[in-house]
Amino acid sequence: MRIDVISIFPDYLSPLGLSLIGKARRQGLLDVRTHDLRAWTRDRHRTVDDTPYGGGAGMVMRPEPWGEAIDEVSGHGEHLPRIVVPGPGGVPFSQAMAAELAAEPWLVFACGRYEGIDERVYDEYGERLSTVSLGDYVLNGGEVAVLAMVEALARLVPGVIGNVASLAEESHTGGLLEYPVYTKPPVWRGRKVPDVLRSGDHGAVAAWRDQQRRERTAARRPDLLAAALPASVTTLAGVEGLALTTAVPADAGEILTLSRACWLEEGRAHDSFAIPALVEDLDTVREDLTRWHTWVLRSHGRLIGSVRARQEDGLWDIGRLMVAPDLQGRRLGRALLEHAEQSAPEQVSTYGLVTGARSVDNLRMYRRAGYRVVERSDFRGVPTVRLTKPRRR
């Protein structure tokens, strides 16, 4: 993976030569290059900023050096890098975004300063450029944010972390915070390691850790534990105790069971049981939780519905929308669909999904929600249709 960073303070990025990131660079897993923006200035003072049109405090970074720097660093070939500009007005950085960026073969980070970069630079590079915020606060420049983002994404590049299992249950994996961890001695200052962790019962340990993740998330970050439910969900007659949460690995078994129940009728309608939801195993479900944003809907603890989505270029791909057979027809599916749509990143312009060509009820719901068929195809002998819907701003 190649990472270029353009800054007026390239020495600020020297920590990227330390620790695991530095080791990965020496091993050839990461190719990190820093560039001084002032190398693309034309005057003897190496000026990169000027006063803002319209007045106001501070200075604005000029477009000329930025345009020349980005063009020269990224080249003009067929495969161009994705450009990331850190800034408080951007899309919030998250673990999911770290995974998304880690899958890119080439990234260029542009570190702004002062009051920011001339807006025409953002317009010039269009969809190739993403503005990303490290948090709801303002820094002096983008360098600190780049250090944090590169640290987060680079450790997800295969080979950078020696033991990949250590990535599986970290904070924000599956939407929850990490469980408490302990080591020797078994008693320290009168505080004991929980007995369950010394029991040797792996099932009990896994259950304890999952419960601890949920309790810690509820106490520290309740916004992660319970996603906002569309208003229509909370008033559905006959369905009580509803809670919509981000799926975690511990939900995989219930998701698999619900999938089999929901897609059985689909298999019958299409004279085929080769539909992925009917043939995948538990490991596949767990793996998909790392690739998709997945939400589960529960009623008094019972998992009664689920939906997932992920970004594919400018498309927000929605899939595996399902509701328990005994609770269908109560607008739960429509509510889950609305939630998936509302969760799309700002840059998404179109929603998309695939369903069986003979799925009459599904097609009726999607059409009522504004989706239209744009493509017909065949998957393992099962006729399918792709539907899309433009995003309304």
pLDDT in tens, the chain (393 residues): 999 999 999 999 999 888 888 899 998 889 999 999 999 998 899 999 999 888 888 899 999 999 999 999 998 777 899 999 999 888 888 877 888 888 889 999 999 998 889 999 999 998 889 999 998 888 999 999 999 999 998 988 877 876 544 444 444 445 567 788 899 999 999 999 999 999 999 888 887 887 787 778 777 876 665 554 554 455 454 566 788 888 888 888 899 999 988 888 888 877 877 788 888 888 899 889 888 999 998 887 789 999 999 988 789 999 999 999 988 888 899 989 998 998 888 788 999 999 988 888 899 999 999 999 999 988 777 888 999 999 986
Torsion of CA 343, 348, 350, 356, to 10 degrees: -50
Encoding tokens for residue 379? 């998957």
Q: Any idea what DSSP says for residue 341?
A: H
DSSP state, 132? Answer: E
For residue 213, the one-letter residue type is R
- 260 φ, ψ (degrees, to nearest 5): -60, -40
Domain ranges of the chain: 2-164, 175-223, 226-390
Of 104, 94, 46, 45, nearest in space to 74 by CA: 104
| CA Rg value for the chain | 24
Does this model's pTM top 0.75? My answer is no
- Could you tell me if 209 and 171 are in contact, meaning their C-beta atoms sit under 8 angstroms apart? no
Which residues neighbour 38 within 8 Å (Cβ) at sequence distance 6 or greater? 8, 46, 48, 65
Between 1.25.60.10, 1.10.510.10, 3.40.50.10860, 1.10.1270.20, what CATH number should domain 175-223 receive? 1.10.1270.20
Q: Select from 82, 79, 54, 83 the least CA-distant residue to 66.
A: 83
| Residue 237: half-sphere exposure toward Cβ, Cα within 13 Å | 1
C-alpha distance from residue 52 to each of 4, 138, 200, 363, 373 (Å) = 28, 19, 65, 52, 47
- CATH code that applies to domain 2-164: 3.40.1280.10
Q: Is 70 helix (H, G, I), strand (E, B) or coil?
A: helix
| Torsion sign across C-alpha atoms 290, 292, 298, 303 | negative
Cα 311-312-317 angle, rounded to 5 deg: 65
Helical packing angle, 332-342 and 360-368, nearest 10°: 50
- Name the class of domain 226-390: alpha beta
First to last CA, the chain: 35
Q: Are 327 and 272 in contact (CB under 8 A)?
A: no
β partners of residue 110: 6
The Cα–Cα gap between 210 and 203 comes to: 11
**Long-range contacts formed by 17-20: CB under 8 A, 24+ apart:** 20/154, 20/155, 20/160, 20/161
